[in-house]
Amino acid sequence: MQNDIIVKNWCELCDRLYDNSWRADIRRYRSNYAFRGLSDKSYGLTTSIMRRCKTHPHLEYHLLRNFSKYAEIPKPDTFFSDWRWLTLAQHHGLPTRLLDWTYSPFVAAHFATAEIDKFDRDGVIWYADYVKINKMLPNPLAEELVHVGANAFTLEMLEHALGTIKEFDTLGTDLVIFFEPPSMDARIINQFAFFSVMSSPTASLDQWLGAHPDLYGRIIIPKDLKWEIRDKLDQANITERILFPGLDGLARWLKRQYTPR
């Protein structure tokens, strides 16, 4: 695939994950990439709503409408926007147009190597320049970034620039936003998570990035390298116990930790 890099060892993986992280303007190593790790290199950037609802974008409205109707959460004093419902729904597993990413290259490497039953196939880490992608947006989104002086959006910024998701969709059919969710729980914080969202429930980020090859790449992790990377990530404490705090994460970590090779 275009823009693929196949790493041969742990050191090369680390080097590739931090490629182009030097920022001459601030004289610091601060990567502009978002990372997404997958256990199989054949997996694309398919959202959960595309996998579930396929070519029926109108189902997004009904999913969110019913989620907000039945969700038992403390009712906020202020208006709970579409963007907040969408983020909350994604966090709890409802099919949405959001796609999970992380600022952390090692968290992405964890998700590329966490499933032992898929160690018979190559893994992949996608990376995308979210700073350049966000700067491609039209007004009022571009103005909001400049006004705040940020590289990624927050929910408050999206609510200020775009009141609803429908307003976002009217700006064009192939727009991409990267935004940070609020720190709803330790999982969001520990995974250093943020999301991408496109201006259509059934839009394909794979196709969009394919048309912008200078904005993304893929690091391929050969199947024979997965055990080494997995063990070194475990020793660095990049595990389910940290990324999914609680008993479920603890159980997932122990199940994998004591699986014989």
Q: What is the pLDDT of residues 142-176, one digit of tens each?
A: 999 999 999 999 999 999 999 889 999 999 889 99
CA angle at residue 109 from 105 to 110, to 5 degrees?
A: 120
Under DSSP, the state recorded for 138 is P
Nearest to 202 by CA among 76, 51, 101: 51
Q: How many whole angstroms separate alpha carbon 160 and alpha carbon 144? A: 8
Q: How would you classify the pairing of strands 216-221 and 123-129? A: antiparallel
Mean pLDDT for the chain?
Answer: 93
Name the residue ranges covered by the structural domains of the chain.
4-257
Using 50, 70 and 90 to split pLDDT, how confident is the model at 2?
confident
Under DSSP, the state recorded for 56 is -
Q: Cβ distance 126 to 218 under 8 Å?
A: yes
106-126 average pLDDT score: 97
Q: How many whole angstroms separate alpha carbon 210 and alpha carbon 23? A: 26
Q: What is the value of pTM for the model shown?
A: 0.94
Q: Cβ distance 101 to 178 under 8 Å?
A: yes
Q: Cβ distance 247 to 235 under 8 Å?
A: no
